[in-house]
Structure 1
Amino acid sequence: MELRTMKYFLAVAREENMTRAAQQLHVTQPTLSKQMKALEEELGKKLFLRHSFSIQLTEEGVLLRKRAEDLVRMADKITAEFHTLDDVSGGDIYLGLAESYQIRRLAAAIRSFKTACPGLRYHITSGDTEQVTEKLDKGLLDFAVLVQEPDPAKYHFLPFPEADVWGVVMPADCPLAEKEGIEAADLAGLPLFCSEQGWNHDLPRWCGSRMEELHLEGSFRLSYNGSLFVREGLGYLLTFRHLIDTTPGSGLVFRPLKPKLEAGLYLIWKKYQVFTPIAERFLAMLRAEFGEQQDAPLQTP
């Protein structure tokens, strides 16, 4: 199975049309069709459902698309790394980011670093812990930022200087908005929105046995989407401070949880990771910016 074949396959999957994909790849349509038929024979699986004017992926084709995307990204990353091994002022850095107000610190650091290294090219993907660590473990990312304590057996890490504060976003005119802090008893039986990660890992250590009194109405990986449901009066959003606009006139307010619940943010990278020169310089700058040493002790709540 050749990398070129994977790129051909992805073009067909993206265009859903053999002729358009062939034009994009600058090959003839019969050549591309022959390559795809050979790929199906090699894998022993049917990858496409062919219709009169379009092509649809089978379940096996959808699986291959995900694997092929990872393979092509990895190949492109390796090529870029080798092209910049002797370049300390430019190159590519790949980051996977959790959702946090503190990402502003990373953005500011990248801005400063790009001034010193104008040849820097940075690539950002966002997601929860499961999504970004999967890409990090596969080698598709250099660094990941997690709102969850990292596994020190697998990763080196650098804590961010601050912690994120949990609270509830709600309509400004609801009764709970009159409280300065929200306790577990206040939320009992109410329709709540939260990320799966927060619901399973952070909230149980806040409310303990009262967790069974809380009702998860729906989960969102993006707090902004959850806030839209709050605006429609469908429930209350558990999220971090500063992620949602709750300024006067927004119609929403944020109230912190009581007792206070915080979550640390960590920059992580794989143990025994071999970095390009630009990635090494970037990490050194972040250590200086954050004023912390690698693998500082994890903070307990």
Structure 2
Amino acid sequence: MEIRILRYFLAIARERSIIKAAEVLHITQPTLSRQIIELEEQLGTKLLNRGNRNRKITLTNEGMLLKKRAEQIIELTDRTKLEFKTHNDEIIGDIYIGGGETDSMRFIAKTAINLQKVYPNIHYHIYSGNFDEISERLDKGLLDFGILIGPANIEKYNYIRLPAVDTWGVLMRKDSPLASKKNIEIGDLKELPLIISRQSLVENQISGWGGEDIKKLNIVATYNLIFNASLMVDEGFGYALCLNKLVSTDNSSNLCFRPLAPSLEVTLDVIWKKNQIFSKAAEKFLERLQIEFVHSNKKNDL
């Protein structure tokens, strides 16, 4: 399976038309059609649902799987080529970091700022996702580092535990009856329409905190990223269980955040694969991250 053919396939998936894809790729339509037919024969499966001339092409289930894999393969291929183009004495390149939503991303930002003062040609790419998505991309070499929130199985990774914790609570409208409370207890949640993270680890954390299965509560929606969930809260659809400092609750906002009681805090880890061979840029980032970690711990000890 050639990288060139995978690029052809992705062009078709993007344009949803062999004719348009051929124009973008600057090849003839018969040539492109033949290449994709040969790819289907090679894989032994149909990848495209081909309509008539006026209908757009759609992907089969197998085609959608290949699209995901092809994107990963090409991303890794392009990244590898870029790393080998740099001169031996240059620190230049891209660093790929993935993680869930957390205010502790500020620690990563400060590390990047300080490193950029010395190596201005390093660029950063941030990927947001849950633990399963981050660990998958780490294992496949698509990320250099991951940021994990809360308890997770990280035995197969090296890690630095950040000198910070995140706190769970409830995001609500300021005109909510519960907004007058300083803290939210499990009894307060039982009748509320709740919007929760779809991660199973989160369900386990909240269930352990409340002493009962969270699925027995009135869950009306789930979210992957809190911003969209915050809009639903703002419209009065429900209350979001989330981490603090992720949504603006200043005077101009309709929303407020109230922590859980008893307090439910989670740790944050920066992880990377054991025996990882880093690019020079990623190597320098890890060195700087360790320096920032030591400095932060010294400040906390004062």
Q: TM > 0.5 between the two?
A: yes
Q: Is residue 229 of structure 1 aligned with residue 221 of structure 2?
A: no
| Contact 1:94 1:122 (8 Å CA) reproduced | yes
Q: Please report how far the alpha carbon of residue 87 of structure 1 lies from its aligned counterpart in structure 2 after TM superposition.
A: 4.3
Q: Is residue 244 of structure 1 aligned with residue 242 of structure 2?
A: no
- 2:144 aligned partner: 142
| Contact 1:150 1:268 (8 Å CA) reproduced | no
| Contact 2:195 2:220 (8 Å CA) reproduced | yes
Q: Please report how far the alpha carbon of residue 205 of structure 1 lies from its aligned counterpart in structure 2 after TM superposition.
A: 2.4
- 1:25 aligned partner: 25
- 2:14 aligned partner: 14
> 1:51-97 CA distances to partner (integer Å, 9 max, x unpaired)?
21332212221111111111111211222222237244211211112
| Contact 1:95 1:144 (8 Å CA) reproduced | yes
- 2:5 aligned partner: 5
Residue of 179, 182, 193 corresponding to 1:180: 182
**SS in structure 1 at match of 2:167:** strand
| Contact 2:169 2:259 (8 Å CA) reproduced | yes
> For the residues of structure 2 that align with 1:87 and 1:136, how far apart are their CA atoms?
27
| Alpha-carbon spacing, 1:47–1:288, altered in 2? closer, same or farther (3 Å) | same
- 1:272 aligned partner: 275
| Alpha-carbon spacing, 1:85–1:185, altered in 2? closer, same or farther (3 Å) | farther
- 2:168 aligned partner: 166
| Alpha-carbon spacing, 1:212–1:84, altered in 2? closer, same or farther (3 Å) | same
Gaps of at least 5 residues in structure 2 are 297-302
- 2:69 aligned partner: 67
**SS in structure 1 at match of 2:211:** helix
The CA RMSD over aligned residues, in Å, is 1.8
Greater alpha carbon shift after TM alignment, 185-194 vs 199-208: 199-208
> For the residues of structure 2 that align with 1:2 and 1:139, how far apart are their CA atoms?
19
Q: Please report how far the alpha carbon of residue 178 of structure 1 lies from its aligned counterpart in structure 2 after TM superposition.
A: 0.9
> For the residues of structure 1 that align with 2:150 and 2:257, how far apart are their CA atoms?
22
Give the count of matched residue pairs. 293
**1:116-127 alignment to 2 at 5 Å?**
116-127=118-129
| Alpha-carbon spacing, 1:144–1:212, altered in 2? closer, same or farther (3 Å) | closer
> 1:117-170 CA distances to partner (integer Å, 9 max, x unpaired)?
111122221111111111111111111111133434210011111101111111
- Equivalent residue letter for 1:214: L
| Contact 2:13 2:59 (8 Å CA) reproduced | yes
> For the residues of structure 1 that align with 2:45 and 2:125, how far apart are their CA atoms?
34
- Equivalent residue letter for 1:163: V
- 2:36 aligned partner: 36
> For the residues of structure 1 that align with 2:282 and 2:213, how far apart are their CA atoms?
45
- Equivalent residue letter for 2:196: C
| Contact 2:203 2:214 (8 Å CA) reproduced | no
| Alpha-carbon spacing, 1:92–1:56, altered in 2? closer, same or farther (3 Å) | same
| Contact 1:184 1:210 (8 Å CA) reproduced | no
**SS in structure 2 at match of 1:291:** helix
| Alpha-carbon spacing, 1:213–1:63, altered in 2? closer, same or farther (3 Å) | closer
Q: Please report how far the alpha carbon of residue 3 of structure 1 lies from its aligned counterpart in structure 2 after TM superposition.
A: 1.1
| Alpha-carbon spacing, 1:213–1:44, altered in 2? closer, same or farther (3 Å) | closer
- Work out the percentage of aligned pairs sharing the same amino acid: 44
- 1:57 aligned partner: 59
| Contact 2:95 2:124 (8 Å CA) reproduced | yes
> 1:203-241 CA distances to partner (integer Å, 9 max, x unpaired)?
122112364652222110111111111122221111111
TM-score by length of structure 2 reads 0.91
Gaps of at least 5 residues in structure 1 are 294-301
> For the residues of structure 2 that align with 1:42 and 1:112, how far apart are their CA atoms?
49
**SS in structure 2 at match of 1:149:** coil
Residue of 217, 220, 226 corresponding to 2:220: 217
- Equivalent residue letter for 1:89: I
| Contact 1:165 1:261 (8 Å CA) reproduced | yes
> For the residues of structure 2 that align with 1:167 and 1:57, how far apart are their CA atoms?
41
| Alpha-carbon spacing, 1:212–1:152, altered in 2? closer, same or farther (3 Å) | closer
> For the residues of structure 2 that align with 1:210 and 1:24, how far apart are their CA atoms?
53
| Contact 1:193 1:235 (8 Å CA) reproduced | yes
- 1:95 aligned partner: 97
| Contact 1:150 1:266 (8 Å CA) reproduced | no
TM-score by length of structure 1 reads 0.92
